[in-house]
Structure 1
Amino acid sequence: MSTRSVAEDFSDIPVEPSKLDAGTDLDAIGKTESFIRRFCILPGAAYLPLALWTAATHVPDAFGAFPYITLTSPVKRCGKTRVLEILELLCAKPQRITSASPASIFRLMKDSPTLLLDEVEALRSSKPSESAQAILAILNAGHRQGATVTRCVPPDWSVEHFPVYGPKAFAAIGRLPDTLADRCICIPMQRKAASQRVARLLFARTPAEAEPLRNTIAAWAEAQRDTVREFYECMSDLGFLEDREADLWMPLFAVCTVAAPDRVDELERCARSLCGAKAIDDADDSYALKLLADVRRVWPDGRSHMLTAALLDALKRIPDSPWGESSQELTPRGLAATLRPFGPAPRQVRVDGGATGKGYLRAEFEGTFSRYLPAAEAESETCETTCMNAG
């Protein structure tokens, strides 16, 4: 992977420097970030991306895809709704709702609002209702510009296409469905510590305080719309991220390059942190991916092969792992069935002393590990988001 920074990549984009100053409040992003910090406790890596996302909601037409924001927590009272309330004061045409039908969602999206949906954990039900499945389909489609849903409309039941593209933020206890989480920049939240203090949001006063900032962001967006679009369209890729994650973050890098060019490298660090935490969460949440991660974890360094019995024994010795639990103990057949879709399969291998037995070759795992797991160093490093409320 190239060591060339994102800031250096932007130096090749042919945009006139004079455009960067036209109608721009260069401190708008910093002021937005400070306003969010005043009321919300978030992971340190989340403040700048959230401020940029807020600005991007005022120019969604500049992008081919718009990232969703998801705020998750293990239990209630972790501040997710407060973040949505703050976004409602700053985003373009906000619509904050808790319960909605599929019909109301795609009709709301006709005017391209910023949709702020609370309590969406119901979408992850093991047996989702027909309504939940329809809502999920609409949300999955709506991060791409030009996406529509087709409905027959009374009284003559003619076919009509409803646009569903636009900015959306979600709050949920637990995880979102995997397909929706793939379209999100994920921000995990925890309850604030006793030592942490935030300002109280006073509905009689705070909206009036936020209005000048929101107007500044809107004016900046209107003045810089074409410049942001040009940067976005000229951007080749974010080489340090996988394809889907790069799609999500490119709009924020385009906005940052125009509004706060001196903070592009900081944004890259934020993206690495949040995407690394998301990749590890994805692996932990999936039975098959967790098994792959644990295989990599227990495989002895330098060993070209490993007997199935030895691999199973090592897996079951991992503290708090599910592999040895009596209700779902991992067997040789179960191990092979789980790994087979990824490529590795059991075969006769030769062990020390010349004897042979069923086992696995390390070489067959290498491509699988690189495709489906975060880099090994990302798992071993202490991620910033595990200290999200340390201040």
Structure 2
Amino acid sequence: MTHALDAFDCAVYLHITSPMPECGKTRLLEVLELLVAKPWLTGRITAAVLMRKMDAEHPTLLLDESDAAFNSNPEYSEALRGMLNSGFRRPGNVSVCIGQGSKITYKDFSTFGPKAIAGIGRLPSTVESRSIPIRLKRRRSDERVDKLRLRDAAADCSRVHTALASALAPFFSSLQSARPDFPPGLSDRAEDVLEPLLAIADSAGGDWPDRARAAVAALIGNGAREKQEAEQDVALQLLGDLQALFKERGSPEFLWTKDIVTGLAAIGDRPWAEYGRKGDAINSHAVARLLKKFDVQPAGTIRDGIETAKGYRLASLEDAFERYLPAGQTPQASQRHKTNNNG
């Protein structure tokens, strides 16, 4: 799509994510750098550099370590979010003041262009809704792959790069006028983001139209979206139940994780007693994974007299309680979450 960007009103965003480091996110960006048009692979950049380079060169932005960027200085992360929000649709501008003193004025900087954004965890919801999710897993010890050396791959990728540009050039007019059909159940924004890819697949012919739409259904169709929403719902439910556990015990300074797990499993109208893959109770890993969505981390080992165990401090949870739980209200149980997965 990057080789035919001028034919489209919207640019494609990829959100490349994984639950842990060393799952191949950076390597995927390095391979994309060899294949896309006008690549710009970078990590932490200032907002000023980002908007000026996007405005001057309209590169394909390959942004690594997005989790660090969005969890850093709030002013920077908000500026980055604004530029990514504006840059998926043409003309895609951000307006800033330039100059000093009596010569101060304003300028619109274009942020439009395709982008691949790699990092652990979620993006801000407004950026995520503009992105196609690419979720990576760490390779198992018994999964063997050939080692990729970029210096060796560069020549082959250069030929593919040239072939892509040459193959798309004759289709520019038809891509510009293409109005592809979309699979059912997509939001308007998802259709905007996907239109270039489906138009290219339709122009390629053969089995590409069907393959592209099958990929769309798997990545951002109804089923994929419901799974994501279910995960968000169950995390909120756990946060509410954890708040209730603290209140029932008189709001102590901390609760040990083993007591949290036991307390959750004892709630009769909740999924926690059968939350595991094998129908067993929720475990400490699942609690940590769900709470991580609210930037809540376990406190590590806590000492109480002569006893020590891992747990969570109330102080680390209070911000999440205040932000996400209505006062005096605990989220209702949802039977669709009766069986999920620990770990």
Query: Does the 8 A contact of 2:10 with 2:192 survive in 1?
Result: yes
> What residue ranges of structure 1 are gaps of 5+ in the alignment?
1-55, 292-311, 340-359, 370-375, 383-391
Aligned in 2, Cα 1:224/1:334: closer, same or farther, shift over 3 Å? same
Partner residue of 1:172 out of 102, 119, 143: 119
Identity %: 31
Q: Sort the Cα spacing of 1:225 and 1:121 in 2 relative to 1 into closer, same or farther, 3 A.
A: same
- The 5 Å alignment of 1:209-228 reads 209-228=156-175
Shift of 1:332: 11
What is the rounded CA distance, in whole Å, between the counterparts of 2:207 and 2:182 in structure 1? Answer: 19
CA distance in structure 1 between the aligned counterparts of 2:48 and 2:326, rounded to whole angstroms: 47
Structure 2 portions without partners, runs of 5+:
239-266, 276-281, 291-310
Compared CA separation, residues 227 and 128, structure 1 to 2 (3 A): same
2:183–2:217 CA contact under 8 A, matched in 1: no
Residue by residue, what CA displacement relative to the aligned partner does 1:142-191 show, whole Å, maximum 9, x if unpaired? 11111101122336333211110100001101222222111110111111
Paired AA for residue 19 in structure 2: P
Q: Does the aligned pair in 1 maintain the 2:180–2:198 contact within 8 Å?
A: no
3-state SS of 1:59 partner: helix
Distance in 1 (alpha carbons) for counterparts of 2:327 and 2:98: 55
Partner of 2:269: 314
Structure 1 residues 164-243: aligned runs within 5 Å: 164-231=111-178, 234-235=179-180, 237-243=182-188
Q: Of 104, 114, 117, which residue of structure 1 is paired with 2:60?
A: 114
Query: Are 2:26 and 2:118, in contact at CA under 8 Å, matched by a contact in 1?
Result: yes
Contact between 2:12 and 2:131, CA under 8 Å: does it hold in 1? yes
1:266 aligns to 2:211 (yes or no): yes
User: For 1:284, which of 223, 231, 242 is the aligned residue?
Assistant: 231
How do 1:1-391 and structure 2 match up within 5 A? 56-110=1-55, 111-125=57-71, 128-154=73-99, 156-231=103-178, 234-235=179-180, 237-275=182-220, 276-285=223-232, 313-315=268-270, 317=273, 319=275, 320=282, 333-335=328-330
| 2:232 maps to amino acid | D
Once the two structures are superposed, residues 35-68 of structure 1 have per-residue CA deviations (whole angstroms, 9 ceiling, x without a partner) of xxxxxxxxxxxxxxxxxxxxx0112232222221
1:149 match: secondary structure: strand
Deviation (angstroms), 1:99: 1.2
TM-score (norm 2): 0.68
Measure how far apart 1:141 and its partner are.
1.2
Q: How has the CA–CA distance of structure 1 residues 100 and 282 changed in structure 2, closer, same or farther, with 3 Å as cutoff?
A: farther
CA RMSD of aligned residues (A): 3.5
8 Å CA contact 2:183, 2:213 repeated in 1: no
Q: Which has the higher contact order (CA 8 A, sep 6+)?
A: 1
The separation in 1 between residues aligned to 2:177 and 2:143, in whole angstroms, is: 41
Residues 64/186 of structure 1: CA separation in 2 closer, same or farther (3 Å cut): same
TM-score, reference length from structure 1: 0.60
8 Å CA contact 2:69–2:77 kept in 1: the answer is yes
Aligned to 2:260: none
CA contact (8 A) 1:65 1:145 kept: yes
The whole-number CA distance in structure 1 between the counterparts of 2:269 and 2:3 is 53
Contact 1:64–1:144 (CA under 8 A) maintained in structure 2: yes
Partners of 1:188 and 1:153 lie apart in 2 by 39
Counterpart code for 2:107:
E
Say if 2:14 and 2:133, in contact at 8 Å, map to a contact too: yes
8 Å contact kept, 2:180–2:202: no
- Tell me how far apart the structure 2 counterparts of residues 332 and 115 of structure 1 sit (CA, whole Å): 42
